[in-house]
Amino acid sequence: MEQKLERMKELAGILGAAAAAYYDEDREIMSNFEYDRLYDELCALEEETGTVLAGSPTQKVGYEVLGELPKEPHPSAMLSLDKTKEVEALQEWLGEQTGLLSWKLDGLTIVLTYEDGELAKAVTRGNGEIGEVITNNARVFENIPLKIPFKGTLVLRGEAVIKYSDFEKMNQEIEDVDARYKNPRNLCSGSVRQLNNQITARRHVNFMAFALVQAEGVDFENSRARQFQWLARQGFQVVEHQMVTRETMPEKVAYFAQAITGHDIPSDGLVLTFDDIAYGESLGRTAKFPRNSIAFKWADEIRETTLSYIQWSPSRTGLINPVAVFEPVELEGTTVSRASVHNISIMEALELGEGDSITVYKANMIIPQIADNLTRSGVKDIPGTCPVCGGETQIRQVNDVKSLYCTNPDCQAKKIKSFTLLVSRDALNIDGLSEATLEKFIGAGFIKEFADIFHLDRHKEAITSMEGFGQKSYDKLIQAAEAASRTTLVRMVYGLGVAGIGLANARMLCRHFQYDFQAMREADSEALTEVDGIGQVLADAWCSYFAVPKNQETVDHLLAELTFEPAGEEEESGQFAGMTFVITGSVEHFKNRKELQNLIESKGGKATGTVTSKTTYLINNNVNSASSKNKKARELGIPILSEEDFVKLLEGEYHAD
């Protein structure tokens, strides 16, 4: 008994730390599979011993509410659901009753209250007892009806979610890989709890109703299904559901299992609820679970395979991530051969070594993970040098996690920004080479310098076997690189990423030196400052860049891959074509407003003196001033840019908040 209690204390500590890291700090210190295994072990020990220790994660309904939003207690506690992974257990639970089987949505639970046909209040689940009032944010969800036909008091629950398609689009617009959102659930949670609902409005949050709590005076004939039908008639998007009996349960679960691969709405399982409202409520509740519903988590399809090797993949931060490469196996209908191990701490917990027999699965039927290591030969051969640059590596422990880092400040993997700029729209414009893809290719050693981008065909087999990167994507990428090899000198000069040399400066340089790149690269500071728009700082930056032999070599190799269009045939429509700017106030980065106006016009834009509905941007260094032009711009919803914002816009790096 004493040993069991000690084990329970140990498990509570491990699970608590893992949950805090995942939910509060957005980092993963163990796999979902391992967490569930330890959680189930703790549940079994609590049932066996009849003891539940203070702080046990099995007794926590949710997490503490954070933030500055108003807090409000729920009239009744919002409980978690008991769960199973067995279809037979669902059949036994349902018995002779009829049930509703629906998606278990992976977002943030919200309670909506309507009074007299209008949305009156929206509150998050919070910790189950107290939530946060987010009414203003709910008003800008994509599909919440602000007014409904029903005029009595209505209270319903649902899940705020961000679709995978919207999540991917938002991430694609963020060039900095490290700044991208980790998953739809975390993005949704942050979006729903914003203090500024303008940000929420841009996040494409949807609300999926899954439970009706109260509807004054409406007779639903004791049926949950009729409640769903009624909510749909009120204008709510109701979670997809199927009527089910004991006999049809396997068929209906199989239907959802097949649908999940193409399902656009994040889900981590199913929910089964009694259709008979009175019967379900008569069953009452336990301290943690209601008895009228149960959750179903997908039984993980586990396959045994052999670990071939650990691939160490460097990133821009210097972190070198371990990726397990194993003999291919079929999982959930697809062939997988790789799984992230995240860090050295997880490797050590699994005692992971080459040649080990391992079991693998797909978390939520999507993400490949290692479930267990059957032979546990132990961690060995952690690289002492970076696989990309050959620089010295170092194991560092941050909090309770050990990870491997490259210590070389000049590592190519750390210079991902320079590669991203080279392939960007205004430079070589290679479609398909996103920053995330570049990071993968650099980490795998496919790209070490600019010219390597045009020789990815040397790594065809490795690329086409990468997760999410098949033959079709590979073919498109090779075609895009081939098309990009025919470019203009302006685009290449901009793409080199010389400090301060934007697209406009690149064009000025090319014109001044009559598109003679050799003359440009050999020019001294004095000659460069004669170029319109090139001051001493930019001239020094240009000279410093070409004073480095390695840079000269890199440029030579790149030049060998490119064919330039004849001078003057580069696009002259300009990046500001169709845009109208108004400039007001003093300027700091330009000699005067006229110089700024000339630059705008050279890029195809127009500069006028009056803010109208046709104005694209107002440029004013005093962004927050109460001037008449600022006021007019705000009324019309026209962005107000500082000069720094304008420069970012010029460089293609401006993103409105």
Report residue 85 as tokens: 């992974």
Q: What single letter denotes the amino acid at residue 159? A: E
The alpha-helical segments, DSSP class H, found in 193-264 are 197-201, 224-233, 249-259
CA gap 262, 554 in Å, rounded: 43
CA gap 371, 375 in Å, rounded: 13
Instruction: Indicate if 603 belongs to the active site.
Output: no
In the numeric block, the tokens 């008569």 are attached to 282
CA gap 119, 142 in Å, rounded: 14
CA gap 50, 53 in Å, rounded: 10
- The active-site residue out of 9, 60, 104, 603 is 104
Report residue 173 as tokens: 């617009």
* 3-state SS, residue 400: coil
In the numeric block, the tokens 């007779």 are attached to 219
CA gap 635, 644 in Å, rounded: 23
Residue 635 backbone dihedrals phi, psi, to 5 degrees: -60, -35
Helices first, then strands: H and E counts in the chain: 24, 24
Residues 6+ apart with CB under 8 A from 126: 62, 65, 71, 74, 132
CA-based angle 162:166:167, to the nearest 5? 70
Neighbouring CB atoms inside 10 A of 595's CB total 14
* 3-state SS, residue 86: coil
In the numeric block, the tokens 């336990």 are attached to 286
Residues 6+ apart with CB under 8 A from 526: none
Report residue 398 as tokens: 């941050």
Q: Let me know: does 295 contact 83? Beta carbons within 8 Å.
A: yes
3-state secondary structure string, 304-333? Answer: EEEEEEEEEEECCCCEEEEEEEEEEEEECC
Q: How many residues make up the chain in this entry?
A: 657
CA distances from 238 to 138, 144, 158, 308 (A): 16, 11, 8, 46
Catalytic residues: 104
